[in-house]
Each structure stands twice: as C-alpha cells, then as structure tokens.
A and B are shown apart, each in its own frame.
Chain A
Amino acid sequence: MTAPAGAPDRADRAPDGAPDRAGTASRLAGPGLAIAVAAILFALLDASGQSFWQGLVINLAIFIILVVALNLSSGFTGVFSLGHIGFMALGAYTSAILTLPLREKGDYLPNLPDWLAGVHLDNQVGPIPVGFLVATLIAGILVAAIAWLVGRVLMRLSGHFVAVATLGFLVIVRVVLFNADSFTRGSRTFSNVAPYTNLWWAGAWALLAVYVVWRLKRSPYGREMLAQREDRVAAQSVGIRVMEPRLLAFVVGAFFSAVAGALYAHFITSFSPTVFYFDLTFRVITMLVIGGMGSVSGSLIGAVAITFLAEGLRRIEDTTLLYGLSQIILAVIFLFIITFRREGLLGQREVPLDRLFAPGWRQRLPWARSAVGSDGSPPHQSR
C-alpha cells in the first residue's frame, strides 16, 4: 500500500506544533499517490480474474489490519498483548451470526435467543452489502466495548505479566467459543458465511486502519503512548498519563482486530474456534517484530514479507508433505531477528511517505543527516 522505498523518518519525534512549511497539498501528495497506485493495482487485479492473487492480497490486507492494530496496542505502548486474536475471533463470530440470512438461521443456530434470532443483516443496496458493513461495525464496537472492560483491568499490569494475562484472555475466549454452542456451534465448523469480503472491502478497511494508527502515532495521544513506554516514571513525573493512552490504544486495536476478524469470516466463509489461537497470534507477532514495534510502515513491510514468505513455504510444504517446516523456518527467522536486530527492520522510525514530495526532502534522507532541516529545525539526531 505504501511505497516500500524511501528513507526512515528521523523527524518523526520532532515536537508537534511547528507548522510544516511544505503545506497541506504537498504533504498529501505522497499518501495520495500511494492510494491512487494501490487503487489502480486493485482494479487491475480485480479485473484480471486471478483468484489466487486476489485471495493472497485479501489475506495480506487482513494481516495488515491485524499487525497495525497490534502495533498500536503493543508497539506504541509497550503493553504487550497476546490476546488480540481473541478479539479477532469475537469479531468473526459476531459478524457471521449477524449476517446469516433468516431462512438459514433457524436451521443452523436453532438455540439462538429471540432477540438475536430475528436479526439478519443480509440486505444489499444495489451492489453494496450494507448489512455486512453494519455487521462489521457492530462487531468492532462490541469488541471495543469488551476490550475497554478488559483493558481497564489489564492495563494496570505491564511487562510480560500483561502478556500472559492477555494470553489468558485468549484462552478464555477460546473456551467460551467452544462451549457457547447455541451461538457458535461449539467445536463444529461454522460455515455458510456469506462471501462478502472482496479486494475493495479488505483494501478499504486496511487503508483506514493504517491511516488511523498513523495519525494516532503523531497525535498527542500517540506521543503519550510512546513517552510512557520509554520511561513510565519520568513520563508520569511531568504529568503524562499512563492509563488513558494505554486504554485508548488497546480499545482501538481491539476494534480493528475485530474488523479483521469479520473480514476474515466473510472471506474464508467457514471456520471453527481452533483457527483463532496461538499459531495465528505468533504469525502476527512475527510480522510486528520483523517490521519494528512502533513503526507503522514497518508493520506493512513485516506483513508483506511474512505473508509472501509463508505462502511460498506453504507451497513447498504441500509438495514435499513436510508439514511443520514452514513454522520452523518462520520461528528461526524470528529468533534471528530477536537476537541480532531486536528493534526490527525500522525500529520506531517510519518511511516518511507524507513528506516524500515535500520541499527539502533531500535533507531528510539519512545520509544528509548533518544538514539543517528545511524548516530551520536543528539537525535530527539519530538513535
């Protein structure tokens, strides 16, 4: 989606408030161009009828949403969550139940409570499945509310204890999904989900997720998140809040994870609770860590790299029948990254897409580091 090339942004953490002389128009040029290119590529791919590549790109878009959501919740705040796939699962089931047509609902989920049994968000306005959009939003908001409740409790913890507590949340979600037969069919496969998810839905939601997280990072909230992550005590001592930014990150991340779940449900069309567990969690974490915790563009790079790598490895597995090999290779790559380049490819830096075409971009390149910034700001320090 974003251009992979470009220099890491060192002006990233410059204080807010100084108006960028580049002006709005040129600041929008980079993202605008990226969106236009993505849209044209999507249209071409949509027209080409290459269902394999279409599926891969939809998959990629879903993973991009998951990774930037996790990055927001974990990378920015340092409160590492292993429970986001639980949010995704809840989103997937919510949307799948809500969109089920009325005539199938009675046979398929006979024990639904009355208030839910009558709901069928399968209406279309022209070619647009409005019901699906509404169901996705409901799923997102419902899960965000759950995340708010859970987060109010869990955000008080930090370090690896919050990681394990959120892992506990993932297990709780799994147990509930397995046992709430009348809603989820328990361990049986939930199929007959309408295949609403296409390139455009997945792409648009991915774009929105990236945009929201990107903007959040540069907002006062984002700076609070990063500040309390770097040094909680120092941040608190100058009046920076800890709980609020953490909770905001957790809730927004949960919302987008649920959206990703809804997209996934209507893409894969049949699934069971086993999908939403540790393997998927680990895959998303790998993407996050490879790209760099705290970097939105890093998340995109991580998602692209691992999606394509995993697909390639899956094909090797299918021909050699050596199942498990791809997971081993991914885990080894993960260990190498953690051992030799712990901050990931980009660390907290960003590919400065929004300033790529702004005047003076040459001065912002890393090898022009000694130059004074075009807006008269002092030279940016490297880490």
Chain B
Amino acid sequence: MGDYFLQQVVNALSAGSLYALMAVGLAMVFGILRLINFAHGDLMMIAAYLAAFSLGAGLPLAVAIPIMVAGTVLVALLMERIAYRPIRGAPDVAMLLSSFAVGQILQNGTLLTTRIAGKPQQIAFPSPEGLGGVATIGTITVQQVNIISFVAGTVLLGLLTVFVTRTRLGLSMRAAAEDLVAAQLMGIKVNRVVATAFAIGGALAAVAGLLFAVQAGQINPYIGFTPVLKAFIAAVIGGFGSIAGAVLGGYVLGFLEVLATALTGIGDLLPPGSVPDPVREFLQHWLPSSLASYRDAFVFVALILVLLVRPQGILGRRDREESL
C-alpha cells in the first residue's frame, strides 16, 4: 500500500511537471496579449517530431535537444510574427480562433511533411539512452523519464522565475502583462517582450514534447491537442495569466488526475479486512475501475466548476476577474 502510494505520487509529480511546463507558456502569452494560444500544444508536437527525426538520424541526445529546442522556438517566433502580430488587440474570440487555424496549419503541415518524407502518420518514438528505462528508488520502481520530467520541470521553472524576477527583460515582461499600453508608453519594446514570451514558451513546450514523446512511445501530428487543453485547465486552476499560478495549477492537475485514476477501482485494491464490507461494496459499486477511462471527462468537469466557482483561480487576483 505504501509503495502503491509512493508510485502514484511520482506519477503525479511527473504529469504535473509536464502540465506546468506547458501551462507556463500559455500563461505568459495570455498575460501579455490576452490570447489563448491553442497552437501551443502543436509546438510540443513539432518538438517531438524534430527530436524523433534527429534521434532517428543517429544524432546523440546532446545534439538532438538543441536542434529540437531551436527549431521549436523558431516555429513559435514565426507564428507570433505571421499570425498573431497582425491581429494584436483584436477581440478575444478572434485571436482564439486564429490560434486554432495556426494549429491546423502546423498539424497538417507535419502530416504533409511526414507523408512527403514517406513516413507513416503514427511513428514510434526512438527512446533515447538515458531517458527510457526504469529506475529503482528504495522499494519502488519508476519510469526513469518520470524522474527526469520532475527534475527538468523544477530546474526550468526555477530558471524562469529567476529570469522573470531578476532580469530587465523579465521585468519588462511583467510590466507588459500588467498593462500593455502603459508599458509601451514607458518605452518598453512590446514586440521584443512578446517575442521573448513566445520563445520561452516554445522552449519549455519543446522540453515537454520530448518528455511526453518518451512517455507515450509513439507520436502523431495530433498529440498536442489534449496536452494543451490540460495545460489550459492547469492555468485556469492556478489563476490565468499568472506564471506561479500556472505552475501550481499544473501540479494540482497532475495530482487530481492521479487521484481520479487511483480512486476508481479502490474497492478492489484495499487489502481485505481493512474496511468494513458495506464500505467496500459501496466503493466497488460507485467507483468501479471501469470509470478510469472517463478520467478526461472528470478533468473537464473540474475545469467548468473552477470557472464557475472561482474564475480567478487559486492565485488569481480578484481585479482581473473582469477578464472572464
């Protein structure tokens, strides 16, 4: 039981780190532009493909990762320049819909590219040395990539915090998020700030994409869709537009998901004699293991509840509520 519990904690931390890495990118861009960039998930997908092709070409991980990050950042900057800059300040929904169009272009562009390259739509991800495999910590055995996800997430998010709080550009970014027009009047180069937000978001999404691909083992052009939805939920839970909120929300979502999975079927899992029989029967009846496949549905119900009950999220500020 204790091992089972620890195992679940590791899973939750690992999933939470990936959500946090994604959610931070969404939150930075949203904070400045009020744009929910749904194409953010496709950056993750692009990164996974870049990594797959680099690793497939026999490059070592130390080369593949810079290629992947640079490529993803480039795509992120291009999408900002081409698609989002011309409509900056447009109504929220118009920007949201544009990001769907950008996502369609990236997905189908990848589909087209793989087809021209003569590859199938779904490809196996070549699990690189040092990322795949399992590790044993004490009495529990965990996927190595889960540990790495947590470590990478913590380190990168720590670096981001330093950047945002200790550097001039980070300060400009926070100012722009506070009030874009006022920041511009104070001489802050908004284009540069926005580009930086997209670049950082792209780099973090790239790392998340690599880790996600290693965990999933397979990639296709549509893998970005569910993660970006989850990242959005994480950002909403934490308080949209706030970087710290996005991180917190990512981990909360990771734990919620693991909890939902662990609770379904709990009636069968409890050791005999530990609970009275009526309780066990109640659990078996109302939380059967077959419910586990409904996990994503529960997560979205949670999203809708948060939007209704506490729309500003855990760390959000009340005065930002008018954004809803």
Interface-centre pick from B91, B94, B111, B311 (highest chain A CB count, 10 A): B94
Interface-centre pick from A80, A157, A330, A338 (highest chain B CB count, 10 A)? A338
Per-residue CB contact flags for chain B residues 225-267 toward chain A (1 = under 8 Å, else 0) read: 1000100110010000000000000000000000000000000
Interface residue tally on A, bucketed by range = 35 or more
Q: A328 to B93, alpha carbons, bound, how many Å?
A: 21
Q: Which residues of chain B come closer than 8 Å to A169, judged between CB atoms? A: 300, 304
- For B272-304 the 0/1 string (1 means CB < 8 A from A) is 000000000000000000100110110011011
**Chain B hits for A323, CB < 8 A:** 111-112, 115
Contact B308 A289 (CB under 8 A): no
Chain B residues near A178 (CB-CB < 8 A): 293
A-B contact sample (15 more), CB < 8 A, given A169-B300, A278-B100: A80-B93, A158-B324, A160-B95, A161-B236, A161-B324, A172-B297, A172-B301, A285-B100, A324-B107, A324-B111, A327-B105, A327-B108, A328-B104, A332-B105, A335-B105
In A136-180, the 8 Å CB interface with B consists of 153-154, 156-161, 163-165, 167-169, 171-172, 175-176, 178-179
Chain B positions within 8 Å of A164 at CB level: 36, 96, 232, 236, 303
A125 near B: Cβ within 8 Å?
A: no
B-side contacts of A161, CB under 8 Å: 236, 307, 311, 324
Contact B308–A156 (Cβ < 8 Å): yes
Determine if A159 and B93 form an interchain contact, defined as CB atoms under 8 angstroms apart. Answer: yes
Contact check: which of A160, A175, A278 meets B294 at CB < 8 Å?
A: A175
Q: In the complex the two chains form, is B324's CB within 8 Å of A331's CB?
A: no
Do the beta carbons of A179 and B93 come within 8 Å of each other? no
Q: Is the interface of B mostly helix, strand, loop or mixed?
A: helix
Are B108 and A325 closer than 8 Å at their CB atoms?
A: yes
| Residues of chain B contacted by A278 (CB below 8 angstroms) | 100, 225
Contacts of A159 in B (CB 8 A): 92-93, 323-324
A214 within 8 A of B: no
**Interchain CB contact under 8 A, A342 and B112:** no
- Is A282 engaged at the interface, CB distance under 8 Å to the other chain? yes
The A interface, classified by DSSP as helix, strand, loop or mixed, is helix
- How far, in Å, is A319 (CB) from chain B's closest CB? 14
Q: Which of B93, B94, B104 contacts A331 (CB 8 A)?
A: B104
Please indicate the chain A residues that have their CB under 8 angstroms from the CB of B294 in the complex: 175-176, 179
Q: Which residues of B contact A321 (CB under 8 A)?
A: 115
Number of interface residues of B (CB under 8 A): 44
Residues in A with CB closer than 8 Å to B236 are: 161, 164
CB-defined contacts of A167 to chain B, threshold 8 Å: 229
Tell me whether A328 and B300 are in contact (CB under 8 A).
no
Cα distance A160–B301 in the bound complex, in angstroms: 17
- Pairwise interchain contact A322-B303, C-beta atoms closer than 8 A: no
Q: Does A256 count as interface, using CB distance less than 8 angstroms?
A: no
Given the interface contacts A80-B93, A159-B93, A338-B97, does A168 sit within 8 Å of B304 by beta carbon? yes
B residues near A289, Cβ cutoff 8 Å: 97
**Given known contacts A159-B324, A175-B294, A328 and B109 CB-to-CB distance under 8 angstroms:** yes
Minimum C-beta distance from A270 to chain B (A): 21
Q: Are A342 and B94 in contact (CB under 8 A)?
A: yes
Q: Which residue of B lies closest to A173 (CB)?
A: B297
- Across chains A and B, the number of contacting residue pairs, with CB separation under 8 Å, is 123
Q: Is B135 an interface residue (CB 8 A)?
A: no
In the bound complex, residues from chain A placing their C-beta under 8 Å from that of B36 are: 160, 164
Least Cβ–Cβ distance between A287 and chain B, in angstroms: 12
Chain A 325-353: CB-based contact to B (< 8 A → 1; otherwise 0): 10110111011001100100000000000
Q: Counting CB contacts under 8 A, is B101 at the interface?
A: yes
- Closest residue to B292 on the A side, CB-wise? A179
CB nearest to B100 among chain A residues: A282
Determine which residue in A158, A164, A171, A324 has the highest number of CB atoms from chain B within 10 A of its CB, and name it: A324
Contacts A/B (CB < 8 Å), 23 sampled:
A153-B304, A157-B324, A159-B92, A160-B96, A163-B96, A164-B36, A168-B304, A169-B300, A179-B293, A179-B294, A282-B104, A285-B100, A322-B115, A323-B112, A323-B115, A324-B108, A324-B109, A324-B111, A325-B108, A328-B105, A331-B104, A335-B105, A339-B87
A-B pairs with the 3 shortest C-beta distances?
Answer: A324-B108, A168-B300, A324-B111
Task: Kindly provide the distance from the CB of B301 to the nearest chain A CB, expressed in whole angstroms.
Answer: 7
Q: Which of A158, A160, A175, A330 interacts with B296 by CB under 8 Å?
A: A175
In the bound complex, CA of A242 to CA of B109 (Å)? 42
Judged by a CB distance under 8 angstroms, whether B58 is at the interface is no
Chain A 65-86 interface residues, beta-carbon cutoff 8 Å to B:
78, 80
Report Cα–Cα, A159/B323, bound state, in Å. Answer: 8
B102 contacts partner chain A, Cβ-Cβ < 8 Å: yes
Q: Which residues B33-92 have CB closer than 8 A to chain A?
A: 36, 83, 86-87, 90-92
Contacts of B86 in A (CB 8 A): 339
Contact with A along B111-124 (1 / 0, CB 8 A): 11001100000000
In the complex, chain B residues whose CB is within 8 Å of the CB of A327:
104-105, 107-108
Across the interface, which residues of A come within 8 angstroms of B308, CB to CB? 153, 156-157
With both beta carbons as reference points, the residue of chain A lying nearest to B303 in the complex is identified as A168
| Those of A42-69 within 8 Å (CB) of chain B | none
Tell me, yes or no, whether B98 is within 8 Å of chain A by CB. Answer: yes
Q: How far is the CB of A381 from chain B (nearest CB, A)?
A: 22
For A78, A178, A339, the residue with the greatest tally of chain B CB atoms inside 10 Å of its CB is A339
What's the nearest-Cβ distance from chain B to residue A278, in Å? 7
The contact string, 1 if C-beta is below 8 Å from chain B, for chain A 289-302, is 10000000000000
User: Considering the complex, which residues of chain A in the window 184-200 have a beta carbon less than 8 Å from any beta carbon of chain B?
Assistant: none
B100–A338 CB distance below 8 A:
no
The digit string for A261-295, where 1 denotes a CB below 8 A from any CB of B, is 00000000000000000100010010001000000
Question: In the assembly, what is the distance between CA of A323 and CA of B83, in Å?
Answer: 23
Q: Could you tell me the distance between the alpha carbons of A376 and B86 in the complex, rounded to whole angstroms?
A: 43
Q: In the complex, which residues of chain B have a beta carbon less than 8 angstroms from the beta carbon of A335?
A: 83, 98, 101-102, 105
